[in-house]
Structure 1
């Protein structure tokens, strides 16, 4: 019998601990991001410094994704997650106590981001071990709801804490969230490598190369990875384009831009809430395709929107599609990949998605400068829709061959 996310949380203590740890960890991520951006803005006083902070936090982990995934397949995943959380807590405490100059700060932030990126594939793979396959869609939906809620709550918590404790205090609170996450993870059962060969012999680099090969060799995995990256590469510019759409196209103010940016977040939250209850009844293949389609067509139609309200509605619907993409991918992969390779496949896929998002920022920014926000949305949505059609045509056949 399949269950929804709420029932799963009530009856499964191990998943409940992982759920709480992931939620607190994501809350901590958003707390530190806000605190560090404000600290850099006050001390460096240059936009390029903030851009470097964001780039180090995103690019370094993406480039090291093959190694990050290999770590979670090579050693006990519970231990890997606990060590990652302790490392992040220690680094944030060091930053809070020293408030270092920008070059050293970037190094510390980069190391912390890498530790966080090692944590993620281990935690995604842990879901497949802890939760029965029939309940994994509900589990991934519940996790998506909680982690996005934590990310949304983080800036509000930071705003409330700043007047009381300042940047240093917010960073110390953030370090405490990672310590709490590590304590919750201690309650999990051990999650050792699934084959006796893992953790002995061979090098970490060899394991990383094997993980890259697995993602490319298996047709269904290759289609999912290429399709997801293509959809993100076309649509990742949406946040920047929404600001330009509100202020230049609609001739509205900062408040309108904020409303448009909130649309996707509201849709994401609603999407995860719906999927936590109903995803167990859905086909993950068609949930993935629907997610690609809704996220892409939503941007295409946003380019044709005539007012802020219409664009907000379309972006909210688009958030539903992004939630569907995430849940379907995290549920499909454990069905296609041996457990011994799962951390590497998760790490490589989401690392590639991060690089695709970076490409979208650069290419989309150039397109936005050369044309307009509506044109950028139409081109982005059309490209993502073509990628969706390609996945819809090829993935069912690949899945049938693998089954």
Structure 2
């Protein structure tokens, strides 16, 4: 499919015309059996991921006492996404995405189970656990674009807004609960037990996907003709992303927003401890404000999905407004004054990133979504650690407040420039 054909398909998709089957318009996503099972699978899989992360990191620190070895685990996950994200996205556009997901879950069930066994057996070298962890990360990289691209096949275009918002709420809830539960499990029963729970979470996730059956709208936008080679599809992904104004705008803007947002919020935490000297209770509230605001925003999007218009304005406006919020945070004197502003930042970040995800699913042809989400996922996974490293170094030299002030100004400028330059995103309805 050429760029002109993609433009034609996308132009009609952005207005969400009367092209989705009647069933998708009449039935709530909560009455969609396939969605409910995939939603449960996604929640369980995320819970497994958070358990795995906290359990492995705590186990490494407890058994070796080495922060360097723990950082190797984090670098392994980052490298996996960087090296295999685009390959995984291309594969997700060539094969049955549901099959790709459940096979990934079952492979991770085996690999994580082996990690738990290695943690129990005395004398197993650390590189064996690191190797298995790398394999788990690689397999997970192949699951992610398959899931992201399959949502349109499960709920149809009219259900995408509610489905993305529901997934966002689930994602935040399982991450918060998963980290807390994982830490408790490691403390109470040991790292091997927590990792074993993670293994069975992947098994349950795979079973739920098998039970979901064939996705209702899987063939809705499948291209016709002879299937091209993997190499041709791989190259087409880069060509389409750069050649299509809508996709290119999202590809440039979303990682940039992630870069500034996550790096700046880390400095807000530093500001709370070093400058505001916030007591533990207030610091805990500060930590909770971002995910709470994110959940509130996602629930609002889900509730207003049928009435929200000019979503591109909401999306880019939220990006621009995060900047002034960070500027105000840099100027206030106490953590208590910053609490409502930080909550607002979480709300705005939810509106920007959730609507981004909706826009990509609606505006990108279904058979290209694996490649688009694979490449964007690669960039958004690399941006936060790079930003954290850069912002940490600057904060050590100049203090956190001036860097937060500069970051807020940059986000305001990015948001305003996006209104002027990214017309396709601005016009998203």
Regarding TM over 0.5, the answer is yes
The separation in 2 between residues aligned to 1:73 and 1:217, in whole angstroms, is 18
Note if contact 2:254-2:353 (Cα within 8 Å) is conserved in structure 1: no
Of 272-281 and 64-73, the range deviating more from structure 2: 272-281
Q: Which residue of 2 is the match for residue 138 of structure 1? A: 162
1:183 aligns with 2:182: no
Note if contact 2:313-2:426 (Cα within 8 Å) is conserved in structure 1: no
Of 273-282 and 169-178, the range deviating more from structure 2: 273-282
1:89 aligns with 2:113: no
The separation in 1 between residues aligned to 2:171 and 2:425, in whole angstroms, is 31
| 1:75 partner SS | coil
1:394 aligns with 2:418: no
Which of 309, 324, 345 is residue 318 of structure 1 equivalent to? 345
The separation in 1 between residues aligned to 2:126 and 2:265, in whole angstroms, is 26
Aligned CA RMSD, in angstroms, stands at 2.5
Note if contact 1:81-1:182 (Cα within 8 Å) is conserved in structure 2: yes
Deviation digits for residues 46-69 of structure 1 (CA, Å, limit 9, x no counterpart): 222222222222332133211111
Note if contact 2:293-2:346 (Cα within 8 Å) is conserved in structure 1: yes
The separation in 2 between residues aligned to 1:89 and 1:287, in whole angstroms, is 40
Offset, 1:164: 4.6
Offset, 1:267: 1.1
User: Where in structure 2 are the equivalents of 1:26-45 lying within 5 Å?
Assistant: 26-45=46-65
1:161 aligns with 2:185: yes
Q: Which runs of 5+ in 2 are unaligned?
A: 1-17
Note if contact 2:29-2:155 (Cα within 8 Å) is conserved in structure 1: no
Of 171-180 and 324-333, the range deviating more from structure 2: 324-333
| 1:250 partner SS | coil
Which of 110, 116, 138 is residue 134 of structure 2 equivalent to? 110
Q: Which residue of 2 is the match for residue 267 of structure 1? A: 293
Q: Which residue of 2 is the match for residue 365 of structure 1? A: 392
Which of 124, 146, 154 is residue 148 of structure 2 equivalent to? 124
Offset, 1:392: 1.5
Q: Which residue of 2 is the match for residue 226 of structure 1? A: 252
The separation in 1 between residues aligned to 2:225 and 2:65, in whole angstroms, is 52
Q: Which runs of 5+ in 1 are unaligned?
A: none
Q: Which residue of 2 is the match for residue 57 of structure 1? A: 77
Which of 74, 92, 106 is residue 94 of structure 2 equivalent to? 74
Q: Which residue of 2 is the match for residue 330 of structure 1? A: 357
1:301 aligns with 2:301: no
TM-score by length of 2: 0.86
Offset, 1:372: 1.1
Deviation digits for residues 239-272 of structure 1 (CA, Å, limit 9, x no counterpart): 4312320121112355544432222111112222
Q: Which residue of 1 is the match for residue 9 of structure 2? A: none
The separation in 1 between residues aligned to 2:268 and 2:149, in whole angstroms, is 34
Higher Cα radius of gyration: 2
1:277 aligns with 2:297: no
Note if contact 1:232-1:360 (Cα within 8 Å) is conserved in structure 2: no
1:288 aligns with 2:315: yes
The separation in 1 between residues aligned to 2:302 and 2:269, in whole angstroms, is 31
Q: Which residue of 2 is the match for residue 207 of structure 1? A: 233
Q: Which residue of 1 is the match for residue 261 of structure 2? A: 235
Of 361-370 and 58-67, the range deviating more from structure 2: 58-67
The separation in 1 between residues aligned to 2:185 and 2:424, in whole angstroms, is 53
| 2:305 partner SS | helix
The change in CA–CA distance for 1:356 and 1:74 in structure 2 (over 3 A counts) is same
Offset, 1:163: 4.9
The change in CA–CA distance for 1:329 and 1:35 in structure 2 (over 3 A counts) is same
1:195 aligns with 2:226: no
The change in CA–CA distance for 1:113 and 1:301 in structure 2 (over 3 A counts) is farther
Moved over 6 A (4+): 1-4
The separation in 2 between residues aligned to 1:343 and 1:387, in whole angstroms, is 27
The separation in 1 between residues aligned to 2:240 and 2:401, in whole angstroms, is 39
TM-score by length of 1: 0.91
The separation in 1 between residues aligned to 2:340 and 2:193, in whole angstroms, is 38
Q: Which residue of 1 is the match for residue 369 of structure 2? A: 342
The change in CA–CA distance for 1:159 and 1:360 in structure 2 (over 3 A counts) is closer
| 1:280 partner SS | coil
Note if contact 1:235-1:296 (Cα within 8 Å) is conserved in structure 2: no
The change in CA–CA distance for 1:218 and 1:320 in structure 2 (over 3 A counts) is same
Note if contact 1:293-1:321 (Cα within 8 Å) is conserved in structure 2: no
Note if contact 1:138-1:280 (Cα within 8 Å) is conserved in structure 2: no
Note if contact 1:21-1:181 (Cα within 8 Å) is conserved in structure 2: yes
